[in-house]
Amino acid sequence: MTDTPPGAGELVERTRRLLAEHPPATTGRTDFLRARFDAGLAWVHYPVGLGGLDAPRSLQAVVDAELAAAGAPDNDPRRIGIGLGMAAPTLLAYGSEEVKERFLKPLWVGEEVWCQLFSEPGAGSDLAALGTRAVRDGDAWVVDGQKVWTSSAHVARWAILIARTDPELPKHRGITYFVCDMTDPGVEVRPLRQITGEAEFNEVFLTGVRIPDAHRLGEAGDGWRVAQTTLMNERVSIGGARLPREGGMIGKAAATWRARPELRTHELHRRLLDLWVDAEVARLAGERLRQQLAAGRPGPEGSAMKLSFARLNQAISGLEVELLGDEGLLYGDWAMVRPDLVDFTGRDAGYRYLRSKGNSIEGGTSEVLLNIVAERVLGLPAEPRNDKDVAWKDLAR
């Protein structure tokens, strides 16, 4: 290994060497993924020793294409999306070397699932108002509070957590960011049943949970700045997911249109065409966003993509239900299911319509994202605030 980051040719050679030494046909899935991580081909833009080679992020596609052509297993990014899309970039930016070495490999391989302990009953859209407390006790922090809308908490081994450590400071300060062990006896996870009948979200109660100071990310009291890294990556992860043409909701609606000519009307045709164009524009904009991401950290443009994703999903799923008429109102199964992953396009049209309602809430509400676009993209004046210099403990709740 030289100090010069590898180019595309060298990455192809490395990938083929990995495939020769660990043939996918005869190597267990987990063993192959571990070997891929150790070869620096997991996420090539990460540092050497942490699954990468310090190569340009854009070259990941070179590796992925070689592995896909060889039938190599992937790490099921949908199941471990929170770990990959939100925890990993935050660990990389703010974790100690020990933290990075401990967590990144099992996270990427998928051996350890992560969840995100951010939202609270009284602090969702206004996340900085959170009230979960963390009090320093020797070389650890003791955490008490409640989180809500926590995806994957029922299957997670670890969580990224923000908690208030100094209530004397204004709400955006005095917050600290931690890695929380979800197997701690002080962690209780309860299912939160949704409009679809599923319970992919959870409430999480934290009672006397002890987190070692070594699992703190960033400085004590600087957790809001750390959380911004997570939140920006979260919006890109949700809104900028790579889709083929006619992937996602528009693919389902287009397939129904083609298969059921007896349901067509001129008005529905016009609306479907408009939404198809919107979906294609969003897909191509997502590609451009990922190219920007390859050049550095995500910017506020990810908020616009997440906003567009939510609006489109709701409009397209609504059109599909209208297209199907009475049939679209049928809903086959209200049984409570605890899914391991979010399936936005799964099951029937009724499910897609109901599930899409959550798209404008999860990962930052559309109202919050509109503010971000207005202030950070368009440069409009910020909304007046009367809590900027008020201690959190003195805020009305």
Q: Are 184 and 210 in contact (CB under 8 A)?
A: yes
- Partnered with residue 170 across adjacent β-strands are 391
User: How far is Cα 158 from Cα 103, in angstroms, rounded to an integer?
Assistant: 9
Classify residue 265 by burial, with Cβ atoms within 10 Å: 0-12, 13-18, 19+: exposed
Marked catalytic residue, from 234, 301, 320, 362: 234
CB atoms within 10 A of CB 396: 5
254 residue type, one letter: A
- Pairing between β-strand 216-217 and β-strand 175-181 as defined by DSSP bridges: antiparallel
Specify whether 112 is catalytic: no
Structure tokens at 85: 């899309």
| 215 DSSP assignment | G
Structure tokens at 367: 């109202």
- C-beta contacts of 339-342 below 8 A and 24+ residues apart: 339/198, 339/200, 340/79, 340/152, 340/155, 341/78, 341/79, 341/81, 341/152, 341/200, 342/78, 342/81, 342/151, 342/200
User: How far is Cα 199 from Cα 190, in angstroms, rounded to an integer?
Assistant: 9
| 222 DSSP assignment | B
User: How far is Cα 312 from Cα 344, in angstroms, rounded to an integer?
Assistant: 12
Residue 314 CA, chain-centre distance (Å), reads: 19
Q: Are 308 and 238 in contact (CB under 8 A)?
A: no
Give catalytic residues, as residue numbers. 234
